[in-house]
């Protein structure tokens, strides 16, 4: 029977990245994937004739450019298309259009508040300064303050130095920003509630926090620290859908001799006297390997595919306490034409951007209040984009597909689990809100896929449907991710590793977790490192 | 007329402590109080003919070093035994906490409680290195200063690898996660989250800012247990006043300060004294304010004397109070089914969601329709607060937003008051029939009564971004302010609020240095 050097569980972008770098180092690797398609949450799926949905993640910005270049993903078919211009809708008919170019953007803000138009420069400068700092840590393994071996001290010193360069007062400002709520942080910049609300939305996407919850300011940063071609904060689309990212990673993997096995759900990791030795698939097949890498979230990894008796009890408890909360929904819609919006100039350029159906700061917070109560708001926050407006390959000519991300959507409802009826009711809430801003929208709908955390968990395998594989709160960041003492990608079981977004630096299609894990594995195997250093040249 | 070395503004407990310590060190000190009594928020005021009460419930973590330095025992301060904290349940089933002992909760939780408390106490002791010292600027000051942090860091390392990791992890957990990780019983969960939330704009689900204040509260020798001085909170105020007077402090009540006198010259600005609202001007080289930062810098110092970035930072401080005070004059002690009369504190907070949802309303500018509260009977400790045989009920009620959407119209006040009374009635049938009079102190009222911006207990949120070397904000976090001769000594500076006295003590040390 064939024995692999390494088995990677889960063909999401981090699993594929991890496998690619191990294969590049000459290891004989196989990625096992439960679904009959690869990509995990970065997929392109034709769920209706000619319409290709990126039905989980839908925009791209956090992908580490250095990995993109190093694995030559462009040659393997990845093409990033920056998209620009987003129309945000308020509840009293306000509209805020964000333009790519500075002049129009400034005037648009000025329309709402001259003060805030100026404040926006301040905010952007601050956010860029803050994100530049975090970016330096993305492709590095966090130190373990509990162990303080040479490498840990080194890494701590690196962090200290990096933050020190801010200067004393900036350091205080940084701590402030890092721990505050998005609403209160932005309150220091904007007088206009709607503008503040628009800027606060990245602070709640994917998280079980509200704009008013301390900690949401960091989530905001997490969403603006990415870049498209070094353009920090910009967002892009992958031509052909997010699946193109997974496809190109798979291409790189295969080129280096790696294998991928789809429709191969792992039942359990084989552990013999404290050492991982392979996996058993649902169909009973056994695969042997020297190393097993899990790309599943930490909770699943520790509580589902590893036998509890193989773990120290306290570690099992930590895994059970890992905060991974479903809070988002997704509605993917096939449209017979491009929707038009009330009071928005029929400008081809503007209508090719994204839409943010917001309301006000309190609309956002009230939507969170609903989530807490195990229901969804009838006025939810919807972040939409129409990729087909930029990418002709994802919808039939003249027709479009629209990605709608909804915050919030509870993993389970107060009155019991999700049912198809409740799911459809949730979907209706979403299109109702869009229809309010785009009369006639519903008539354009050709096909619609509604995904609550329930579907996301069952299809993608993310516990509770949490898109980050674990909350991005301070107790679960850096050397606390997924939990203290295990932030360096190694499991408490010998020869077993983690490479998913449950590890540093966390969620978002960045490939950083997978790459970092590969570097650690190669270090343990005394193989030369194939993972590039992050060149923050654009910083 | 007397020439003073220093003037302390505000005779709250921190003002008293600071003034007394400075006088003990030989300075000539004048302590000015705007109201007619000393004690600030700890002072008891009449709210109904013959009935008095103080906003302060207990002195759980009053600094032992302050008591020692000022020999408060000799001035009549002594503490009763630790008192239970009781979580009221419907139909007479209550849970109680005292020391390591939990009673009335699920057995598994009762068994788990001692270990949980010991763990938190271990962490609280790590932080003890910080509270009674000035927290120096990081990297800004001299190396010696930074030893404070080194010391805390060392203590942390000494916890051992596993425990230290856990410490770092839970430090920013929301109370909900912290207690839910350890306990099942909904009432116990609510009870244990309370001390992390009370007084702040915080709910069980709010991350980052709950655990640190909780550990601060557990720092004293009472280890977080509820403690009241023998003779009630007044006894503390009287002891502090006596200590101050003995040390030679001149105390003047009814002397609201209009402005801090600031003289400018080529060398820059410096404080030269204060001007009272009466027009009287008193000279002094040092002026130490126990008023909250916003009042101190905007009303007393004046923004015109501050660099713009600094005043912007003061302006953005989070100082909105979220707790209301309810006082009731009772013809006799109310009966709580299943509860022998208690001199402890009673909590009405059935579960975490009850607290969370009460907060949700306040967050949106409404008084909680279903308030949660902490109740005490001050007359249990000081009979003089009410006519013979009668009682005072005092409750800290959450949540009551400073910025209420009707700006606390009479309608809003009446509605909130009756919700409070109905809520208590549900746990103590017949309660409302005993009420002879009552008062509701919203954060607005507290602000009006005590001149603390936002009516905030702690003169500003005890949140990470406003604690330690960032309290109230950098540039004023070591008790000195940007204006030479002007100092802070109130709850608005490190370590913060609660009847602790450490701020006043640290400030005195800094001014004398």
> Which pLDDT band holds residue B36 (cuts at 50, 70, 90)?
very high
pLDDT at A224: 84
The Cβ-side half-sphere exposure at B408, using a 13 Å CA radius, reads 15
- Is-contact B104 B95, C-beta < 8 A? yes
Token pair listed for A356: 């943010």
pLDDT at A504: 97
Q: With 0-12 CB in 10 A as exposed, 13-18 as middle and 19+ as buried, what is B260?
A: buried
- Is-contact B250 B30, C-beta < 8 A? yes
CA distances from A294 to A49, A400, B466 (A): 34, 36, 40
Q: Is A369 on the interface with B (CB under 8 A)?
A: yes
Yes or no, beta carbons of A171 and B138 under 8 Å apart: yes
- Is-contact A467 A507, C-beta < 8 A? yes
- Residues of chain A with C-beta less than 8 angstroms from the C-beta of B177: 321, 323, 475
Yes or no, beta carbons of A214 and B162 under 8 Å apart: no
pLDDT at B178: 98
Q: With 0-12 CB in 10 A as exposed, 13-18 as middle and 19+ as buried, what is A147?
A: middle
pLDDT at A522: 98
Q: What is the 3-state secondary structure (H, E, C) of B392-448?
A: EEEEEEECCCCCCCCCCCHHHHHHHHHHHHHHHHHHCCCCHHHEEEEEEECHHHHHH
Phi-psi region of B191 (alpha: psi -120 to 50; beta: other; left: phi over 0): alpha
- Is-contact A73 A244, C-beta < 8 A? no
Segment B221-243 mean pLDDT:
96
- State the Cα–Cα distance between residues A7 and A18, nearest whole angstrom: 10
CA distances from A225 to A202, A507, B95, B472 (A): 11, 12, 48, 30
CA distances from A419 to A328, B88, B183 (A): 17, 38, 31
- State the Cα–Cα distance between residues A335 and A341, nearest whole angstrom: 15
Token pair listed for B473: 């904000």
Q: Is A58 helix (H, G, I), strand (E, B) or coil?
A: coil
Yes or no, beta carbons of B138 and A168 under 8 Å apart: yes
- State the Cα–Cα distance between residues A68 and A332, nearest whole angstrom: 27
Pick from B437, B49, B470, B342: nearest CA to A171: B470
pLDDT at A164: 85
Q: Is B463 on the interface with A (CB under 8 A)?
A: yes
Q: Which of A146, A184, A372 sits opposite B165 (nearest CB)?
A: A146
A41-84 pLDDT, tens per residue? 999 999 999 999 999 999 998 899 999 999 999 999 999 988 87
B155-169 pLDDT, tens per residue? 999 999 999 999 999
Q: Which residue out of A475, A481, A487 would a mutagenesis test of the B interface target, given it has the greatest number of B Cβ atoms within 10 Å?
A: A475
H helix intervals, B25-160: 64-69, 107-131, 143-157
Q: Is A115 on the interface with B (CB under 8 A)?
A: no
Q: Is B139 on the interface with A (CB under 8 A)?
A: yes
Inform me whether the pLDDT recorded for A539 exceeds 60.
no
- Is-contact A291 A5, C-beta < 8 A? yes
Q: Which residue out of B167, B208, B466 would a mutagenesis test of the A interface target, given it has the greatest number of A Cβ atoms within 10 Å?
A: B208
B465-506 pLDDT, tens per residue? 999 999 999 999 999 999 999 999 999 999 998 899 999 999
ipTM for the complex shown: 0.94
Yes or no, beta carbons of B207 and A147 under 8 Å apart: no
Nearest CA in chain B to A180: B465
pLDDT at A101: 83
Inform me whether the pLDDT recorded for B123 exceeds 60.
yes
Say if strands A236-238 and A80-82 run parallel, antiparallel, or are unpaired.
antiparallel
Inform me whether the pLDDT recorded for A185 exceeds 70.
yes
Residues 6+ apart with CB under 8 A from A412: A374, A418, A454
pTM confidence score: 0.96
> Which pLDDT band holds residue A234 (cuts at 50, 70, 90)?
confident
Inform me whether the pLDDT recorded for A509 exceeds 90.
yes
Segment A226-242 mean pLDDT:
82
H helix intervals, B289-407: 293-294, 308-315, 352-363
Q: Is B257 helix (H, G, I), strand (E, B) or coil?
A: strand
- Is-contact A388 A374, C-beta < 8 A? no
- Is-contact A278 A497, C-beta < 8 A? no
Residues 6+ apart with CB under 8 A from B256: B32, B34, B276, B277
How many beta-carbon contacts under 8 Å exist across A and B?
93
> Which pLDDT band holds residue B140 (cuts at 50, 70, 90)?
low
Token pair listed for B190: 């609510």
A314-366 pLDDT, tens per residue? 999 999 999 999 999 999 999 999 999 988 887 766 767 799 999 999 999 99
Nearest CA in chain A to B364: A362
A299-319 pLDDT, tens per residue? 999 999 999 999 999 999 999
Q: Which of A168, A214, A365 sits opposite B208 (nearest CB)?
A: A214
Q: Is B356 on the interface with A (CB under 8 A)?
A: yes
Nearest CA in chain B to A484: B165
Say if strands A445-451 and A328-335 run parallel, antiparallel, or are unpaired.
antiparallel
> Which pLDDT band holds residue B142 (cuts at 50, 70, 90)?
low
- State the Cα–Cα distance between residues B163 and B126, nearest whole angstrom: 12
- State the Cα–Cα distance between residues A539 and B125, nearest whole angstrom: 42
Average pLDDT across chain A, whole number:
94
List, as own/partner pairs, every contact residues A261-264 make where C-beta atoms lie below 8 angstroms and the sequence separation is at least 24, other chains included.
A261/A30, A261/A31, A261/A32, A261/A33, A262/A11, A262/A33, A262/A35, A262/A36, A262/A37, A262/A38, A263/A33, A263/A34, A263/A35, A263/A36, A264/A32, A264/A33, A264/A34
- Residues of chain A with C-beta less than 8 angstroms from the C-beta of B465: 175-176, 179-180
Q: Tokens 């080529």 — which residue? A: B266
Inform me whether the pLDDT recorded for B361 exceeds 90.
yes
- Residue B37: other Cβ atoms inside 10 A: 14
What sign does the dihedral A180-A181-A182-A183 (CA atoms) show? negative
B259-304 pLDDT, tens per residue? 999 999 888 999 999 999 999 999 999 999 999 999 999 999 999 9
């Amino acid at each position: 029977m064939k024995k692999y050097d390494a088995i990677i569980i889960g063909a999401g972008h981090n699993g594929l990245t991890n496998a690619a770098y191990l294969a590049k180092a000459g290891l004989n690797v196989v990625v096992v994937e439960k679904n009959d398609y690869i990509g995990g949450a970065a997929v392109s799926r034709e769920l209706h004739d000619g319409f290709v949905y990126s039905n989980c993640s839908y925009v791209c910005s956090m992908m580490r450019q250095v990995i993109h270049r190093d694995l030559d993903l462009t040659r393997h078919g990845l093409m990033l298309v920056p998209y620009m211009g987003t129309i945000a809708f308020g509840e009293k008919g306000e509209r805020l259009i964000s333009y790519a170019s500075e002049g129009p953007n400034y005037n648009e803000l000025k329309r709402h508040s001259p003060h805030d138009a100026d404040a926006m420069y301040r905010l952007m400068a601050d956010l860029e300064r803050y994100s530049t700092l975090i970016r330096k840590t993305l492709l590095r393994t966090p130190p373990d303050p509990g162990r303080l071996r040479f490498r840990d001290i080194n890494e701590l010193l690196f962090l200290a130095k990096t933050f020190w360069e801010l200067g004393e007062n900036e350091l205080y400002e940084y701590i402030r920003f890092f721990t505050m709520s998005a609403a209160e942080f932005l309150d220091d910049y904007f007088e206009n509630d709607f503008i503040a609300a628009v800027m606060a939305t990245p602070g709640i996407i994917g998280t079980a926090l509200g704009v008013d919850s301390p900690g949401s300011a960091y989530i905001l940063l997490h969403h603006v620290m990415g870049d498209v071609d070094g353009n920090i904060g910009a967002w892009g689309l992958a031509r052909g859908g997010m699946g193109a990212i997974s496809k190109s990673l798979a291409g790189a993997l295969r080129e280096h001799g790696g294998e991928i096995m789809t429709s191969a759900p792992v039942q359990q990791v084989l552990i013999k006297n404290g050492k991982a030795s392979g996996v058993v698939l649902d169909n009973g097949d056994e695969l042997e390997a020297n190393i097993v890498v899990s790309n599943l979230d930490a909770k699943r990894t520790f509580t589902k595919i590893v036998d509890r008796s193989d773990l120290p009890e306290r570690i099992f408890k930590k895994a059970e306490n890992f905060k991974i909360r479903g809070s988002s929904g997704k509605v993917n819609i096939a449209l017979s034409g491009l929707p038009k919006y009330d009071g928005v100039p029929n400008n081809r350029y503007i209508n090719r951007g994204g839409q943010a159906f917001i309301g006000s700061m309190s609309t956002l917070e009230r939507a969170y209040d609903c989530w807490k109560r195990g229901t969804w708001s009838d006025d939810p926050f919807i972040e939409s984009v129409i990729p087909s407006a930029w990418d002709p390959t994802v919808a039939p000519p003249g027709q479009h597909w629209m990605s709608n991300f909804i915050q919030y959507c509870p993993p389970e409802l107060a009155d019991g689990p999700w049912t198809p009826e409740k799911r459809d009711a949730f979907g209706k809430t979403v299109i109702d809100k869009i229809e309010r801003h785009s009369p006639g929208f519903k008539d354009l709908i050709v096909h619609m896929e509604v995904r609550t955390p329930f579907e996301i968990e069952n299809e993608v395998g993310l516990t509770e449907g949490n898109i980050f594989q674990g909350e991005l709160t301070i107790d679960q960041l850096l050397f606390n991710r997924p939990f203290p003492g295990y932030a360096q990608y190694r499991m408490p079981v010998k020869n077993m590793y983690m490479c998913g977004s449950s590890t540093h630096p966390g969620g978002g299609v960045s490939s950083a977790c997978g790459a970092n894990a590969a570097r650690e594995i190669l270090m343990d195997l005394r193989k030369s490192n194939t993972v590039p250093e992050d060149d923050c040249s654009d910083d | 007329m007397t020439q003073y070395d220093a003037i302390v503004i505000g005779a709250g407990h921190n003002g008293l402590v600071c003034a007394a310590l400075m006088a003990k060190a030989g300075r000539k000190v004048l302590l000015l109080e705007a109201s007619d009594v000393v004690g600030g928020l700890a002072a008891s005021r009449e709210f109904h003919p013959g009935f008095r009460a103080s906003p302060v419930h207990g002195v759980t973590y009053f600094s032992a070093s302050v008591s020692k330095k000022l020999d408060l025992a000799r001035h009549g301060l002594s503490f009763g035994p630790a008192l239970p904290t009781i979580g009221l349940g419907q139909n007479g089933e209550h849970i109680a906490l005292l020391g390591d002992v939990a009673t009335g909760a699920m057995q598994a939780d009762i068994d788990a409680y001692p270990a949980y408390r010991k763990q938190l106490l271990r962490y609280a002791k790590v932080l003890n290195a910080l509270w009674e010292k000035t927290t120096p600027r990081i990297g800004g000051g001299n190396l010696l200063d930074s030893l404070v942090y080194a010391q805390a860091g060392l203590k942390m390392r000494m916890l051992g690898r596993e425990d230290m990791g856990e410490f770092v992890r839970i430090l920013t957990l929301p109370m909900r996660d912290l207690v839910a990780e350890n306990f099942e019983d909904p009432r116990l969960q609510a009870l244990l989250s309370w001390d992390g939330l009370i007084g702040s704009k915080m709910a069980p689900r709010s991350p980052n800012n709950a655990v640190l204040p909780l550990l601060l509260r557990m720092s004293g020798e009472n280890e977080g247990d509820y403690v009241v001085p023998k003779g009630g909170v007044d006894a503390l105020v009287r002891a502090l006043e006596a200590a101050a007077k003995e040390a030679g402090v001149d105390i003047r009540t009814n002397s609201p300060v209009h402005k801090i006198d600031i003289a400018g010259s080529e060398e820059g600005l410096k404080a030269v004294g204060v001007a009272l609202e009466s027009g009287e001007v008193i000279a002094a080289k040092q002026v130490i304010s126990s008023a909250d930062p916003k009042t101190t810098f905007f009303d007393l110092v004046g923004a015109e004397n501050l660099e713009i970035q600094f005043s912007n930072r003061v302006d953005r401080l989070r100082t909105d109070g979220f707790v209301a005070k309810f006082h009731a004059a009772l013809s006799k002690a109310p009966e709580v089914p299943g509860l022998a009369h208690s001199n402890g504190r009673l909590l009405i907070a059935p579960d975490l969601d009850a607290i969370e949802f009460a907060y949700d309303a306040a967050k949106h500018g409404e008084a909680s329709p279903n308030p949660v509260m902490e109740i005490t009977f001050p007359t249990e400790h000081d009979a003089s607060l009410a006519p013979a045989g009668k009682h005072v009920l005092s409750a800290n009620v959450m949540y009551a937003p400073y910025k209420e959407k009707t700006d606390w119209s009479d309608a809003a006040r009446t509605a909130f008051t009756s919700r409070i009374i109905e809520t208590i009635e549900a746990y103590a049938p017949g309660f409302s029939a005993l009420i002879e009079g009552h008062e509701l102190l919203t954060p607005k009222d507290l602000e009006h009564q005590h001149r603390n911006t936002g009516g905030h207990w702690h003169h500003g949120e005890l949140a990470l971004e406003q604690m330690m070397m960032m309290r109230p904000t950098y540039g004023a976090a070591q008790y000195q302010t940007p204006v030479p001769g002007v100092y802070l000594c109130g709850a608005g500076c490190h370590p913060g609020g609660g009847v602790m006295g450490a701020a006043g003590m640290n400030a005195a040390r800094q001014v004398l240095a």
